[in-house]
Structure 1
């Protein structure tokens, strides 16, 4: 009981300080490395970083002293949900229609993870459609990312490390104690460097939209066994969301957009682009170039999630009508990019809705569509 009370106190303190705009400790996490001190004002994530070793023998691609302590108590200061329980949509009476959920569908099984719960736990270790996944959410970056928990022949369980990199959640796995970046899914410090977690399609959407599109969905239960149900009446970090403050340790931001504008980030190989939320709300479909291909993106009418599709045909224009994508060349595709009368399928790309400062920190060369 003492440990549980401590976790409650630590996590509650974290939420209180963030919601009131008070910074938590921002001192670097110490682990001796060679070389000069890091530039904390101009850090970006380089996936081709050279693997180095600390004096204690740990592999790293991000210097340990570039991590900041994000919440008191260290590991599990914010408790993950490791044995999630679910209710049917009909049983859920505590969600408002406009409440945000992370929607996930795997092998015809759909689930909704309300941000009212995720914002207070940040990681749900789950299994859906036979696939082990970690549904993760970093409130500081507004980044909801779902990863496969399978690495090689091993299924990992993740927890909150208490550390931040570029204001983003740093996870740890409980088998090797390796630290993982939530946004990139890459092992950054520890035994499993430089392995990378596979991403799973998921999106933040409104509960009403998700329920209508997926009436058989299950919903993460408010009965977590960790906090009283009343704790989940509102999202954590509400004060932070309303403020202009960005996450800890981020002092230099890309000024092409206000730092907390929501963008939908899309990557294909070494190319990346951010599409603003306003554009996707005001235009039925957008079309641009990404590398040597045509990128189209749109909000799905059914559940409000954002789809991005890549097509190697660059001479046609595309439109969205009656639940189908059409080109001026006369071809048609489903909203998932499957060609209706042929085999020239489009490539569906993962689309992630983040705060602009977070997306641009991890993708400093990103294009911007606004």
Structure 2
């Protein structure tokens, strides 16, 4: 059996190389790049009729949903509404065991439209704002793949979209992009505890269809030997990046058309990772209460050195410079920076092999842009004492709490 698996893996990698003619493809920058995607789609044998999206489905409360969900079930949390602490925002919670059969869920209302998209083969999860000018786009999977990632179509114009990029590559809307919305990947026990008794949170009801929602056609996130963890690929990709394991889950962050992949398990293991990304000073923190990685901007006051975040507790963390206390919504609750706010950035979730194939020039965490542990231990980074310019209370921060 192991011999067959090895032969299959070798065949897939070889097919990938031959299929893509060894071309290294990166984030689309031109019409030619978009045409390249359209010319290299893989047919899966599954058509759009078998991947009908959910449109304005029914929801229930967190407490009632517990009767249909197990503690370790994977769920996706999508935050909508105005900017507030996550527990106070309007959220919808979607079980992966339902989404795997539909891949797209559309919410279309008078004042908003968004689509939660999930590609199980590439592990890609992204929620897009689908309200564009006078159009309320309704997306669905069309059954084809590019670099093992789902191709989407909108029924409004019949255009085709890359789920990984959130970008239209074929049709009337070619070249148009979609804005990401805050989305988190966790387990039901964490989500239930976090949002219990919160009227602003609702959970997707199991649709009344003949689909086997208790059976994942691709494997199981509870089985370490299943497709979601092993090194076997189903569809070809343009290149294999060996800097991480194929199915390592990353958060892909795009800022100013540059990309970085953040290894989720690495951040969870370390608790907090300070890093630089182009002109941005960022920090990835493990919010243990929800068991998710959240990414914040450490530049709270323009013109001063960015904060360096150090380990805290399950409820908060501190900065090295002033020892101010921050919560996992990026708000300073005590200390010199009281009343300040760190901007949160959101990316997409994806398996490393597919994200890297789409974006071979991506930076990586862990990587060279990470602030070394030695700087946290002795308080010196790049031959400069951390926090020299932050003695005494900090007032009039550039990033005051926006919901105040």
TM over 0.5: yes
User: Do the aligned residues in 2 keep the contact of 1:95 with 1:207 (CA within 8 Å)?
Assistant: yes
Q: Hey, what's the Cα distance between the residues in 2 that align with 1:279 and 1:315?
A: 22
- Corresponding residue for residue 390 of structure 2: none
- Corresponding residue for residue 367 of structure 1: 363
Q: Hey, what's the Cα distance between the residues in 1 that align with 2:326 and 2:176?
A: 35
Q: Hey, what's the Cα distance between the residues in 2 that align with 1:128 and 1:296?
A: 35
Q: Hey, what's the Cα distance between the residues in 2 that align with 1:293 and 1:242?
A: 32
Determine helix, strand or coil for the equivalent of 2:213: helix
Deviations 1:79-135 (A, max 9, x none): 211241112222221211111001112122221110100111100112589532111
Change over 3 Å in CA distance of 1:128–1:329 after alignment to 2: farther
Determine which of 296, 301, 305 is the counterpart of 1:309. Answer: 296
Determine which of 39, 49, 53 is the counterpart of 2:30. Answer: 49
Moved more, 254-263 or 166-175: 254-263
Q: Hey, what's the Cα distance between the residues in 1 that align with 2:63 and 2:177?
A: 37
**1:299 is the counterpart of 2:286:** yes
Q: Hey, what's the Cα distance between the residues in 2 that align with 1:44 and 1:86?
A: 40
Moved more, 185-194 or 318-327: 318-327
User: Do the aligned residues in 2 keep the contact of 1:337 with 1:346 (CA within 8 Å)?
Assistant: yes
- Corresponding residue for residue 101 of structure 1: 75
Q: Hey, what's the Cα distance between the residues in 2 that align with 1:318 and 1:180?
A: 38
Q: Hey, what's the Cα distance between the residues in 2 that align with 1:106 and 1:315?
A: 29
Deviations 1:173-230 (A, max 9, x none): 00100001111100011110111011101011001101111123321111x13325xx
**1:337 is the counterpart of 2:322:** no
- Corresponding residue for residue 8 of structure 1: none
- Corresponding residue for residue 154 of structure 1: 135
User: Do the aligned residues in 2 keep the contact of 1:71 with 1:77 (CA within 8 Å)?
Assistant: no
Change over 3 Å in CA distance of 1:39–1:347 after alignment to 2: same
- Corresponding residue for residue 225 of structure 1: 208
User: Do the aligned residues in 2 keep the contact of 1:258 with 1:356 (CA within 8 Å)?
Assistant: yes
- Corresponding residue for residue 190 of structure 2: 209
- Corresponding residue for residue 140 of structure 1: 121
**1:163 is the counterpart of 2:155:** no
Determine helix, strand or coil for the equivalent of 2:48: coil
With structure 1 as the length reference, what TM-score do the two structures score? 0.80
Q: Hey, what's the Cα distance between the residues in 2 that align with 1:129 and 1:298?
A: 36
Moved more, 166-175 or 290-299: 290-299
CA RMSD of aligned residues (A): 2.9
- Corresponding residue for residue 7 of structure 1: none
Deviations 1:292-342 (A, max 9, x none): 332210121221121111223556421243534432221554423345546
Q: State the shift of 1:61 in Å.
A: 4.1
Q: State the shift of 1:38 in Å.
A: 8.0
Written as runs of structure 1 = structure 2, the 5 A alignment for 1:1-370 is 39=20, 41-50=22-31, 60-72=34-46, 74-92=47-65, 93-107=67-81, 108-127=89-108, 131-215=112-196, 216=198, 217-222=201-206, 224-228=207-211, 231-238=212-219, 239-250=226-237, 252-312=239-299, 314=305, 316-322=307-313, 323-330=315-322, 331-339=324-332, 341=337, 345-370=341-366
User: Do the aligned residues in 1 keep the contact of 2:126 with 2:349 (CA within 8 Å)?
Assistant: no
Determine helix, strand or coil for the equivalent of 1:361: helix
Equivalenced residue count is: 329
Q: State the shift of 1:166 in Å.
A: 0.9
Deviations 1:129-162 (A, max 9, x none): 9532111100011111111111122101111111
User: Do the aligned residues in 1 keep the contact of 2:154 with 2:160 (CA within 8 Å)?
Assistant: yes
Q: State the shift of 1:345 in Å.
A: 3.8
Determine which structure has more spread, i.e. the larger CA radius of gyration: 2
Q: Hey, what's the Cα distance between the residues in 1 that align with 2:110 and 2:263?
A: 32
Q: State the shift of 1:248 in Å.
A: 1.0
Determine helix, strand or coil for the equivalent of 2:241: coil
User: Do the aligned residues in 1 keep the contact of 2:250 with 2:263 (CA within 8 Å)?
Assistant: yes
Deviations 1:20-78 (A, max 9, x none): 99x99xx9xxxxxxxxx9835435343312369xxxxxxx5444221111233x33331
Moved more, 294-303 or 42-51: 42-51
